[in-house]
Structure 1
């Protein structure tokens, strides 16, 4: 075992030896052991004295043996064993003459183990006056050293001062006093003392190291260089640091070439090189064109929050610019600009930042507009100011935050033509995004503002008319929509790519105005020359042409157009076939109608038009005097769709048909079943009136009254006149006074269970939805579904109730409501609402098979609104991916990701990139995620997720600097507050 270095003479009293050293008896072993201890042959001493312990020594001999064995262990460096032996010795020999030395030796164990605070406490318990001269010197030296290590400079200095006159510790005392002055920054006194020590032995041999550091710190680079070269091989552990001093001194003396040689050796030999050395080395690499090495070397320097760290960011940014990596350049240059240490570096960094921006660089949510304005405020007279002012205009458009861009433009008192052009563009983009997000009123204001700037860009102003028309159409203002679409067609060029779309939209707005002839002309233009419109739009136009002919009673022409619609888009042809059947019926071709209805039902068994088709089929049998067949269909209808309005109507028509067949008893029972099963429905009121007449004819009105009284909530014999008058007044106020609801609430309060309560509650629920009051919407909708489950209002109420439950996070409850709505919905819009709700809740609950099923049903129908189609497609793709059908999901995501202004386009782009990354296709993942972050999508959450994924890709590719800088920039600039974004950032940075 390696022996411990002894800094002092040993302070032990050696027992006089009376026996011969070579005697074989116990005294001989004791004599030999103590002599070996005195000669520092500690292993020999341990061997001799251990043998003595085996020979039945007396108490004095055992005490001496134990004492010297313990000290031998101590000076061999076996500190743990020595401590145990010394503590045992104190316990076994409390009156020993060696007690003071034993206590001192335990303190020494702490000292040698660098437990300076504990060692100092033990030394302080020992009275120095009780020690002999040598031991007292050891005592003061070790206390002084411990105090120094504990940063108790003054106390340490005093202790070392008391040792200056001693022979053994004079040199060490002067050295450590010099070191303390060095540590305190008093270099003059440090130099005086350190220069006076003997450098041939420890610790004086370390003096040149500190003298070199002082020379370097004081800027005496010639002296520092000379001393570093001399001290470089004095103490091996100091060699790397001396290489650094030599290298940095040479750099400051202008000899960069030789400086780099030393610094390369220093960095290679050091696990944690100093930033100053890395900075010099990195700058040299940059100058010599070793750009990758420069970025790697300068990377750690950027952790310094000072001028050097700022300059390191500048060099890294410039290196990336030279490599054409403008995105990473932006990250570094932005950091250099935002660090406020060196104004020239700041100016240069900003100019290079502008260059990178001009070349299309991106930063996560970095506001270039804000930076440019800040720069002009700070440096209005900068040589770069003209270039920055010019770039400020284009910066509005390249920056992702259009709201802030607009606010910046509004603050300009005298905007130039270029600024106004930018403002028009910003308003146009914000309007399109507001409309995509459903903020129709806000979108309309944006487009009108952009149109008002028509002198800047007439073509864009004309495009605004198309969007203004869409806004008015969504608000139900068809006349205003028609005017906007007409203006677009009047002022747009003949080759405008959106002319046919505007013509199609104009057809719909005129259709909404019930100007069917003019609407038909618009749709006919679309089908004759669709341009870039898809086949589904053309098919829809044929459907609307058919509708227009239908309203004009031109049934054969209507049927012909429904045929064309079906042939173009048979996958979603249920409406076309159904309407074609209706035309046959209107032409009194009931057999033809039946054939088409049967064909439609076989082709589209999940169509939302199935209840209506069965009802029409039964009525066709009635028209053909095939009452028995009609009865069968009516029974099938009420069995399959009993809770729909068509099902309830089927019950009613079944009763009427049975009555016409003379099946009076069955007819009465059917009427009663309608009333008993659906007492709050309109069909129950009709059935009640019919049943009342039948009983009246039979003279059994008393029986009728008893029956009606036995059915809870059955229609009353007479409606209260005041009930109706009150409701009509409330309804009028609601419809004509901006959806005022106070009178409706008053009606519900005054007439609970009134004749018109379902309709009043329906109005209140709708008003609450439009006002964004989900709690009231849920309350009113629940009242309808519980009190009037069979009313027509109950369908819409179920839709409202499900949406409110879903918005409140009650997924399972919402799912049950949407399932109920699907089973009883008669209107296509409610069938779609039910299926959309089921899909959304199932997606959130992880029921992915149900998501795919509902999505397939909706996509197979023409009833799906275009505004929701992307959500359905995205949800289907997401569910397929979760079910392990990634290839199918990728195809759908790729199509949706073509439009990242749409929320589901942005989400699809992200999940497409994440899917490739998770499956090891890093190149594809990077391509897709870069498309997302370059898209300027307004959906900031998914843009942030894209930047985080891009960081993951960089990290996996070994590019640590860019990976971290993207995250740091995102953390500083992300405008959202979603906690998961910041959690993901922090996890990766850690």
Structure 2
């Protein structure tokens, strides 16, 4: 604010009028002073010229006087008046010379005070005309005057202008002293109000605002009617403002601005707006600033107010208004245009319009060379380039140029920091380190030092110099423990050690700091690092807890997607598959653009596979294969998809996917495994040769023992499918040799046994059974143990080792095997017991079979054998209905059908149910004429008929039996024919039939079961003769006795072991007595 100093001319006008008039008494005094007449004449003329205002003529005359009469008693006055006339003529240098001569030549001059005062004024006026050094001379003159005449009549004036002279030299501290002395020591001085005002202004400009305020208060108290009151009130407001009482100052400025006609109202409005801005009332401040160009168009503040309005609206976030007023300031083109351009650039940057900011900066910079905002505009341009993706490198160059060209500017450190930081963002880490080092050397004490050290540490981290980064971050956090970013730096320190796999150190570092970490993102990252470290330490429960805490802090932080993947993996490791899968599904849904999406899909596929949700697994793996073809997980996904397809029995599709892996990723570590999996698929699709080739290729990769054995097993199965039984046996044997404790050894033994069994080589059948036995004994809990036991049982059964067979069949049955083996096992167990004539046990077995397998393929055979067991137990009453139950159903063979009829008929015969017997037995020759059991059926028919009183019909059936059988049945039937003749006392016919039995059917070489009937026939033949002896005529008796002896002797000689041999001997003894 300009000072009001219009008093100078007014004040001095009064002095000049007084000094310019010369009283007539001075002339009389001059005569008395014994001046010459000539001197008096010139003196008088000069005085008259002066008194009549002819100052130029007067000055000439005074000069003439002084030249002619330099020593005249009136010379001092003449010298004084010469100065006064030149003063009136504004010939200040001539006047000053005159007054200076008075002081030097006439130190006792009675008007010496006037001379000093006028000399000081002339010097002061010359200073006003920019004559160098004159304010200093004026100050010296007024200072001498005050010293010589401290109580002089002009002391107040001398003090005042001494203050003015010092003030105008910039010596405001010195100026304040005479102002203050005038105010305090000359209370009646007409200059007091001006002195108070000047003193207040001086204090104000010395920033002694409290003193200034007190001085202005004095002015307002003592000179309330002064025309300067409004201005002083405004200045008082300024002191209140400077005391930071912005609200009070704003009110005072408002009151002043409202004074009608106040010439400095624009200033008051300007300062009021400033007060509002200091109380953060930016919108109100902006409106007031904007009122100046509108309401005070001629104000010197128009340009600055436009700019300030723009700045205030900017701070009030009223950007449209800010743009308007900043644009006006720029359009004005004055000194404020660069600053306005600076703020408008910031707006463009806020509004994401960096190109506009660049254009504006480029437009204004050529005109801002002398502006205080030159560097700000350069920074704006650099910041705008930074915001343009492809221009960050240019931004770095410009930041560096600012730091170089304006190294002492307050923004130079910021520019160099920005260069380092941007280089970090551009991954130009070496440059970032270089710029950071340059900063630390140039600005070691700058506030940005910690941030620059952060950039350096981060560059090291990004360069993967983790140990160096660890050290840098450790020093940073230790040196700046109170820095607001120290929490973030601690996290980066933790990251540096995390990347060195110092996982426990990460946990130990961050866990105690968690409670003090501020900010959701920082907390989320810290918990993530703890969780990930715990994961790698195999502490999955704490890992999951920390990772969940990370997501709770901020579910959308920059690594939330990765956090969810680690959380899913931690849950998976705890066998919480459902939650792991849900977590991955949520991650995929929430972060569809994540750079970790391929990983998430892969893990989702992997876990879905583990959950046996193969359809989802295939879809997730496919999302990797098709959606992220360049991903590192593609090969793994192809492998996983192939396995999932294999699990769903989509073998052809699986083989195709695995082929893609083998072809597209020939050097990948999974290729050998892919050959193995493809071999499995090919085996399932019938490409057995291809399967063998793939698996053999896999085996060449020297897999670990478990996988080698799995592969051998698969190859063996393919060889089995090709009926290469020898090759299969070799493969399975190799497997068991490699790992006798192989997890699926039972299956291997099973396949090995079958390979031997199917080889067609009788010599290897024993090997087959040996391996079945080994399976059964070594793996009793195997699902294959039942069948193995069954095959062992079959082997024993074929050898008629029925007891051992029964043990094996029982072991097979005990495993509750599948229906096929289960039914066969119990069925053959029953047969084994049956063969051992353990009919009760056999009956129980067949009954169990029918109960457990009521619809089994061996059902009918079991029905038959149940009847057979009852028959064997001679429980004919139950056997008969059991046999009858087999009628009308198809038995497993014609033989069994015949036996069911035969034994059924026999059971009926035993029960003397002859009609029932005949009904059953008659079906045999009728329906099964070719059956070997027809003779026996005929015999049984004969027996039933015989017992039914149908002996003639019985005779025919016996004859049929005797003719059709050369064995025991035939012999028995022939015997029965003899018996019928015997009962009818047709002894000759009877003996003839008995003889056919005795000597027929192999004679002496007959089978043991035939010999029984031969012995019976011999004995009965003897009886035929024997029974006739007693009643025979004497001539016939010797012959009958001889015949009887002959037949009895036959029994004794030919069948000595038969039970009838003893009886025959007894009869021989008795007959010998006759």
TM over 0.5: no
TM-score, normalised with respect to structure 2: 0.32
Query: TM (normalized to structure 1)?
Result: 0.34
